[in-house]
Amino acid sequence: MKYINLGRTGLKVSRLCLGTFNFYHVTPENEALSILDLAESSGINFFDTANIYGKEKSCRGAAESLIGDWIQKKKGRRNHIVLCTKVYGPMSDEINHGGLSAYHIRQACDESLRRLKTDHIDIYQMHHFDHTTPLEEIWQAFEILIAQGKVLYIGSSNFSAGQIYKTQSAAERKGLFGLVSEQSIYNLIERSVEFEVLSAIKDIGMGFMPWSPLAGGLLAGAKKEGDAGRRSLPHKQQEFQQNSAALMEYENICTELNLRPSLVALAWLMHHDCVTAPVIGARNTEQLQENLQSIDINLTEEYMDKLNRLWQGPGVAPDCYTKWGSPR
């Protein structure tokens, strides 16, 4: 395994982050525990979850509980993993059991700690930006949790560049370190973050953990395995049809490289200096074992160019505006 600093922090994390969205959702408990064991034995020290992950609305928190049980099974395990979870989503029908009010942040943190069976969360992430709560209130709640030792770092997820800057500025006005990481969707097909978000992340010095690195399975071999897992869902079949020509060319490139498509997609991400660790949501141990091989793949500039031409990114603002003519 290879390790890297999380943005400007001194915290070192593995180049792959194990995501747990699939736990209970599509992966049964025994298989999820095996995935966690394999990740640990392979050197992954970076684990991501969220308080809303679980079987269904009535069982939100199930993924955190499973991780908590797993942590307790081995003495000292908690001391060598970097544990991330998230706050924002509604945990019940109660009106204040969602969002980023100080009321909900305090309550949600305590409940996550109880389920995770730990006394602290390493990276506590805002799952979405809250347009209804002042940033001063949010940071006041986080500052208290940090002072209490319940949280070490604060991260964001699904934020725009403007929201990242606003949130960081509010932290700095309070003399706080601020945001250390961002999670957004990013893969060869979905490249919207290249427009402004990645520039904001670099500017502030945040870590970046792309979620859905395989585009929900489309980049894992959709041409040959289009009926597997989530790829069998109607909207995924539609996405496959919309991208069929590019996907065929993509898999031809993978054949030239003699690499499985999933490995090429992960390697492409890790060749970007802004990417700390893709969040891999393996459904079983076989998928995780395969994904681990991406760590040692080196793509030449020629093949990076070939891959980048398959799905054109938006370009980086404001340089990309020149396609409309000279800047005014």
Whether 231 is covered by a domain: the verdict is: no
Catalytic-labelled residue, pool 24, 53, 153, 186 = 53
Q: In what order do the strands lie in the sheet with 207-211?
A: 207-211, 179-185, 151-157, 121-126, 82-87, 46-48, 17-19, 279-280
Distance CA 146, CA 140 (A): 10
**Tally of CB atoms within 10 A around 33:** 17
Q: Which domain holds residue 65?
A: 3-217+261-298
Residues 6 or more apart from 109 whose CB is under 8 A from it? 87, 121, 124, 145, 150, 151
Q: What is the pLDDT of residue 56?
A: 63
Q: What total of structural domains would you count in the chain?
A: 1
271-303: per-residue pLDDT in tens?
Answer: 999 999 999 999 999 999 999 999 999 999 999
Structure tokens at 185: 């969707």
**Tally of CB atoms within 10 A around 307:** 21
CATH code assigned at 275: 3.20.20.100
Whether 95 is covered by a domain: the verdict is: yes
Q: What is the pLDDT of residue 325?
A: 56
Q: Which residues of the chain have pLDDT under 70?
A: 55-58, 222-233, 236, 323-328
Whether 199 is covered by a domain: the verdict is: yes
Long-range contact set of residues 92-98: C-beta below 8 Å, sequence gap at least 24: none
Sign, Cα dihedral of 117, 62, 17, 77:
positive
Q: What is the pLDDT of residue 326?
A: 53
Whether 222 is covered by a domain: the verdict is: no
Whether 256 is covered by a domain: the verdict is: no
Distance CA 108, CA 97 (A): 8
Q: Determine which helix (DSSP H) or strand (DSSP E) holds 264, and give its type and residue range.
A: helix 261-270
Whether 223 is covered by a domain: the verdict is: no
Q: Is 53 a catalytic residue?
A: yes
